Structure 1
Amino acid sequence: MPHLNTTMHWHGLSAFTAPFSDGTPMASQWPIPPGHFFDYEVKPEVGYAGTYFYHSHVGFQAVSAAGALIVESAKPSPYKYDEERVIALSEFYTKTDEEIEAGLTSTDFTWSGDPAAILVNGQGRLSTKATGSCKLASIKVDPGKTYRLRFIGATGMSFLSLAIESHDVLQIIEADGHYTKPLTTKYLQIGSGQRYSVLLKAKTKAQLDKLKSRQFYFQITNLDAQDQTVFAVLEYPTAKGADLKTVPAKPPLPVAKLTSGWLDYKLQPIKPNPYFPAGKEVTRRIIVNVHSNSSEHIIYLQNGYDWVETFPQSPYLVDVYTDKLDLAASYKRAIASGQGFDNQTRLFPAKMNEVLEIIWQNQGGVSGGDVQSHPFHGHGRHFYDIGGGSGLYDPTKNEEKLKGTNPVYRDTTMLYSYGSQVEPLAASGWRGWRIRVTDPGVWMMHCHILQHMVMGMQTVFTFGNKADMMKQSGPIGESYLTYGGSAYGNDTNFPEVQQFF
Structure 2
Amino acid sequence: MFSLLLLIGVTLLTRGVVADCRLHYHDESFVPDIVLRVTAGNISVACLERYSVVVNGTSPGPEIRLREGKTSWVRVYNDMHGKNLTMHWHGLSMSVSPFSDGTPQASQWPIAPQHFFDYEIHPCIGQAGTYFYHSHVGFQAVSASGPLIVEDQKLPYRYDGERTIHLQDFFQETDGKIESGLTSIPFAWSGETNNVLVNGHGLPLDEESRSGSCSMAKIRLEPAKLYRIRFIGATALSFVSLGFQGHNNMSIIEVDGEYTKAHNVDYLQIGPGERFSVLLKSKSRRELKRDRANGIDQYFLQIETRERPTSMRAYAALIYAGASLEESPVPRKPPLTLPTTTLGWLDYKLRPLKPNNFPTLSEVTRRVTITVEQVVNNSITWKQNGFSWTESFPKAPYLVLLYDGQYSMFPSYESAIANGGMDNLTRAFPAKIGEVLEIVIQNTGSTSGGLDVHPFHAHGAHYYDIGSGNGTYDVVENEKLLKGIEPIRRDTTMLYRYGSTTMPGAHAGWRAWRLRVTTPGVWMIHCHILQHMIMGMQTVWVFGDREEILMLPYDSVKGYLTYGGDAYGNANRWPKCLHRWERD
Same fold (TM over 0.5): yes
CA distance in 2, matches of 1:127, 1:99: 22
Which residue matches 1:388? 468
Whether 1:331 and 2:410 are equivalent positions in the alignment is no
Distance 1:195 1:473 in 2: 36
- Asked if structure 2 preserves the Cα contact closer than 8 Å seen for 1:127 and 1:247, the reply is no
1:4 & 1:137 partners in 2: Cα distance?
30
Q: What does residue 119 of structure 1 align with? A: 197
* Structure 1, 25-34 or 113-122: larger mean CA deviation: 25-34
Cα offset, 1:30, TM superposition: 1.2
Residues 242, 338 of structure 2: 8 Å contact kept? no
Q: Say if 1:327 and 1:349, in contact at 8 Å, map to a contact too.
A: no
How far off its partner does 1:327 sit?
6.6
- Secondary structure of 1:467's aligned partner: helix
Residue matched to 2:146: 67
Q: How does 1:407-486 map to 2 (within 5 A)?
A: 407-471=487-551, 476-486=556-566
Q: Which residue of 2 aligns with 1:103?
A: 181
Q: Secondary structure at the match of 1:222?
A: strand
8 Å CA contact 1:383–1:410 kept in 2: the answer is yes
Give identity over the alignment, percent. 53
Aligned to 2:400: 318
User: 1:294 and 2:370 equivalent?
Assistant: no
Which AA in structure 1 matches 2:578?
Answer: Q
| Residue aligning to 1:221 | 304
Partner of 2:35: none
Structure 2 residue aligned with 1:283, among 335, 359, 365?
Answer: 365
The question of whether the paired residues in 2 share the 8 Å contact of 1:85 and 1:149 is answered with yes
Unaligned runs of 5+ residues in structure 2 are: 1-79
Equivalent position of 2:131 in the other structure? 52
SS at match of 2:224: coil
| Residues 1:91 and 1:436: Cα distance change in structure 2 (over 3 Å) | same
Question: How far, CA to CA, are the matches of 1:97 and 1:301 in structure 2?
Answer: 23
1:350 equivalenced with 2:431 (yes/no): yes
CA distance in 2, matches of 1:179, 1:125: 34
Corresponding position of 2:441: 360
Higher mean C-alpha deviation, range 129-138 or range 287-296: 129-138
| TM-aligned CA deviation for residue 332 of structure 1 | 2.6
Task: Give the whole-Å Cα distance in 2 for the aligned partners of 1:59 and 1:82.
Answer: 39
**Distance of aligned partners of 1:329 and 1:362 in 2 relative to their CA distance in 1, 3 Å threshold:** closer
Residue type of the partner of 1:364? G
Q: Does the CA-based 8 Å contact 2:409-2:426 persist in structure 1? A: no
> 2:352 maps to which residue?
269
Pick the aligned partner of 2:114 from 35, 40, 51: 35
Give, in angstroms, the shift of residue 470 of structure 1: 4.2
Secondary structure at the residue paired with 1:399?
helix
Residue 217 of structure 2 is aligned to residue 133 of structure 1: no
The 1-side partners of 2:367 and 2:505 are apart by 20
Q: Deviations over 1:131-180 (max 9, x none)?
A: 74211100000000010000000000100101110101110000000110
Shift in Å at residue 468 of structure 1? Answer: 1.2
Choose from 464, 473, 479 the match for 1:399: 479
How far apart are 1:296 and its partner, in Å?
4.5
Q: Secondary structure at the match of 1:39?
A: strand
- Kept in 1: contact 2:317–2:328 (CA 8 A): no
Q: Deviations over 1:426-468 (max 9, x none)?
A: 0110000111111111001110000000010001110112321
CA contact 2:367–2:440 (8 Å) conserved in 1? yes
Within 5 Å, give how 1:151-300 maps onto structure 2: 151-212=231-292, 213-225=296-308, 226-238=310-322, 241-273=324-356, 275-300=357-382
Q: Which amino acid aligns with 1:49?
A: A
Shift, 1:473, TM fit: 7.5
| 8 Å CA contact retained: 1:21, 1:41 | yes
**Cα contact 2:445–2:504 (8 A) shared by 1:** yes
The answer on whether the counterparts of 2:128 and 2:151 sit within 8 Å (CA) in structure 1 is yes
Question: Which structure 1 residue ranges, 5 or more long, are not aligned?
Answer: none
Distance in 1 of aligned mates of 2:199 and 2:326: 17
Q: CA deviation at 1:475?
A: 5.7
C-alpha RMSD of the superposition: 1.6
Return 262-271 or 251-260, whichever deviates more.
Answer: 251-260
Shift of 1:400: 1.2
> Which among 156, 162, 176 is matched to residue 78 of structure 1?
156
TM value normalised by structure 2: 0.83
Greater shift in the superposed pair: 198-207 or 217-226: 217-226
Contact kept, 8 Å, 1:292 with 1:364, in 2: the verdict is: yes
1:56 alignment partner AA: S
Which amino acid is the alignment partner of residue 305 of structure 2? N
Which residue is equivalent to 1:14? 93
Equivalent pair of 1:129/1:246 in contact (CA under 8 Å): no
Give the residue type in structure 1 aligned to 2:159.
Answer: Y
| Structure 1 residues 304 and 155: alpha-carbon distance in aligned structure 2, compared to 1, 3 A threshold | same
C-alpha distance after superposition, 1:231-289 (max 9, x if no partner): 001100126x333351111111114411110000001111222x211111111101111
After superposition, the C-alpha distances for 1:207-243 in whole angstroms (9 at most, x for unaligned) are: 111122331000000113443111001100126x333
Quick one: distance in 1 between partners of 2:183 and 2:494?
Answer: 25
**Do 1:444 and 1:461's aligned partners in 2 also have CA atoms closer than 8 Å?**
yes
Question: Aligned partners of 1:383, 1:479: CA distance in 2, in Å?
Answer: 32
Say whether the 8 Å CA contact 1:321–1:476 is kept in structure 2: no
Deviation of 1:322 (Å) = 2.4
- Are the counterparts in 2 of residues 161 and 187 from structure 1 also a CA contact under 8 Å? yes
Q: Distance in 1 between matches of 2:176 and 2:410?
A: 39
Shift of 1:493: 1.5
- What is the number of equivalent residue pairs in this alignment? 496
Hey, what's the Cα distance between the residues in 1 that align with 2:107 and 2:377?
28
**Secondary structure of 1:498's aligned partner:** strand
Pick the aligned partner of 2:165 from 77, 87, 94. Answer: 87
- Tell me the amino acid that sits aligned with residue 233 of structure 2: G
Measure the CA separation in 2 of the matches of 1:186 and 1:34.
Answer: 46
